[in-house]
Copies of this chain bind each other. A is one copy, B any other.
Amino acid sequence: MMMNTPLTMTQMIKRAEMFFPKKEVVSRTETGIHTFTYKEIADRTRRLASSLEQLGVNRGDKVGTLAWNHHRHLEAYFAIPCSGAVLHTINIRLSPQHIVYIINHAEDRVLLIDPDLVPLIEKCQDQLKSVEAYVIMSDSMELPETTLSPVYNYEQLLENADANYQYPDDLDENSPAGMCYTSATTGNPKGVIYSHRGIVLHSMAIGMADSVGVSEQDIAMPIVPMFHVNAWGLPFAAVWFGTKLVMPGPYFTPKLIAELIQDEKITITAGVPTIWLGLLKELEENSYDMSSLRGLLCGGSAAPKGIIRAFEEKHKIPFIHAYGMTETSPLAVVANLKSYQKDLPYEEKLDYRAKQGVLVPGLEIKIVSEKGEVSWDGKEMGELCIRGPWIASEYYKDERTADAFQDGWLHTGDVVTIDEEGFVKIVDRTKDLIKSGGEWISSVDIENALMAHEAVFEAAVIGIPDERWQERPLAYIVLHEAYKDNTTKEELLNFLTPQFAKWWIPDDVQFITEIPKSSVGKFLKRELREQYNKQLTEK
């Protein structure tokens, strides 16, 4: 039989240290750009693991991080799970009361905090029930002035740590390695626990040529924050494969992103559509050499065709459209063209590539409507259900588990179609679908169509109550600066008319200055609906 060696994360950092000691991690922190070799990172990671042990962290204990994308956060990504503890990456963009909730709910014993985020925690430290130590991840050997207590300096801890610390070799592959909370439509965030096995398999998956093909040859820059689903697993995979990593640090701008891509010769980078919209603007205003890029990995929410086309046709930057969620580690579906689709005309290819794509090897999906599994015709809508070894089986100590996890499948809450080629397309969130005259209207489809109009910067479509039709679509539009005074509702609605059935066309368009967004950059349609209702009552 085969050996029962477990799929644990220690092998990842060990491989980087043994086989790629000279490869580098370039890290932007509050004081500038710093470069470390994997040999140094591996040494510092061991020291951090030893320090945490000295602070009393035991197997299974949670250690929270409030941090940007930089080398210290990367060290925490390995030191915590490889020593048997659990890496809890805290979304710093949650409301203070949600941050308090998740720290208490996870029972974090230690918090690793970026210097600029210290005030965030100082404000709520009285409410934290389980935290026994605060560690400040500063470039300095000095502690900043702070009310946090007991408080430690990261670099000081490392200096005093045991350089010969050894990771335990008896970790179970099914033991928890990480956790991340995902915001809920209402109520507190819901926690997902990642196992060592799940992280190892997910890392293999994103290294596969048929998914993202992350490799030692890459220079990878995760722009997606490390507090969002482990920066989509890129840091784990990159370290394992000896990939050079570039960490963009705090408060970056589109300009900084463009410069890093150019200067560091980034081959692959990852972020949400909002990031790419910003970069696109920057590329239109200034000129950069982007020729090193082999892919912009885009997920989090659907990228409109217009963005993909602009990057590819105008800037010759290949776009990789993918789909996943906190509950799926996240990679589930990638819009890679099949070999025989490569010769299609560009627009037809774009039709496929603007969908979320084809199932990654290792998972299973089914798409279910009230009538059972939908047909693969690109039309029938159903809820996407996913199963596999890097899919969560529950929310951590949360009664809402029963809503999303049924019969061994994750019910994603995303309404999708699947076409003859097996390309999944997100139509809407189950709760954002608009039900008009007994039929469903996809708000996302209309939004994407609107965002393809040159005047439109952002568009969000919601369903508003209607006596006759039950619900009718209403569009909220943010215009590009240059179009603010010369764009009419009629123009936009006329633009939509040839593209949709008549009853899909929104009844009205409202121009606003900004669409409310969640901490992860997704449109908060719930807030738009609340605004609308408030307007109604105020009238």
Instruction: Verify if A174 is at the interface (C-beta below 8 Å from B).
Output: yes
Stretch of A93-101, A135-143, A209-217, A277-285 on the interface side: A209-217
- Name the distance in Å between A214's Cβ and chain B's nearest Cβ: 7
Chain A count of residues within 8 A CB distance of the other chain: 62
Residue in B closest to A14 when the chains form the complex, CB atoms: B364
- Name the distance in Å between A156's Cβ and chain B's nearest Cβ: 33
Find chain B residues with CB under 8 A from A5 CB. 364, 387-389, 391, 408
A15 in contact with B340 (CB, 8 Å): no
Complex Cα distance, B20 from A4, in Å, reads: 33
- Name the distance in Å between A207's Cβ and chain B's nearest Cβ: 4
- Name the distance in Å between A87's Cβ and chain B's nearest Cβ: 15
Which residues of A365-416 are within 8 A (CB) of B? Answer: 387-394, 408, 410
- Name the distance in Å between A339's Cβ and chain B's nearest Cβ: 5
B391 in contact with A3 (CB, 8 Å): yes
A338 in contact with B242 (CB, 8 Å): yes
Instruction: Verify if A505 is at the interface (C-beta below 8 Å from B).
Output: no
Known contacts A205-B204, A210-B241, A213-B209, A359 near B2 by CB under 8 Å: no
Instruction: Verify if A437 is at the interface (C-beta below 8 Å from B).
Output: no
A340 in contact with B387 (CB, 8 Å): no
B20 in contact with A388 (CB, 8 Å): no
Complex Cα distance, B478 from A46, in Å, reads: 54
Complex Cα distance, B197 from A2, in Å, reads: 9
- Name the distance in Å between A175's Cβ and chain B's nearest Cβ: 9
B361 in contact with A240 (CB, 8 Å): yes
Tallying the copies of this chain within the complex gives 2
A4 in contact with B174 (CB, 8 Å): yes
**Per a CB cutoff under 8 Å, which of B14, B203, B215, B329 touches A209?**
B215
Instruction: Verify if A422 is at the interface (C-beta below 8 Å from B).
Output: yes
Instruction: Verify if A453 is at the interface (C-beta below 8 Å from B).
Output: no
- Name the distance in Å between A238's Cβ and chain B's nearest Cβ: 11
Instruction: Verify if A516 is at the interface (C-beta below 8 Å from B).
Output: no
Complex Cα distance, B63 from A43, in Å, reads: 50
Which residues of A206-259 are within 8 A (CB) of B? Answer: 207-210, 213-217, 240-242, 244
Complex Cα distance, B19 from A336, in Å, reads: 12
Residue in B closest to A394 when the chains form the complex, CB atoms: B1
Instruction: Verify if A18 is at the interface (C-beta below 8 Å from B).
Output: yes
23 contacts between A and B (CB under 8 A): A1-B174, A1-B176, A1-B195, A2-B174, A2-B392, A2-B393, A3-B387, A3-B392, A3-B410, A7-B389, A11-B362, A15-B359, A18-B422, A22-B340, A23-B338, A204-B204, A207-B209, A209-B213, A209-B214, A209-B215, A216-B338, A216-B339, A240-B361
The 10 closest A-B pairs by CB, nearest first: A209-B215, A2-B198, A209-B213, A19-B422, A207-B208, A3-B393, A2-B195, A204-B204, A210-B215, A217-B339
Q: CB within 8 Å of B: which residues of A?
A: 1-5, 7, 11-12, 14-15, 18-20, 22-23, 174, 176, 193-195, 197-198, 200-201, 203-205, 207-210, 213-217, 240-242, 244, 329, 336, 338-340, 358-359, 361-362, 364, 387-394, 408, 410, 421-422
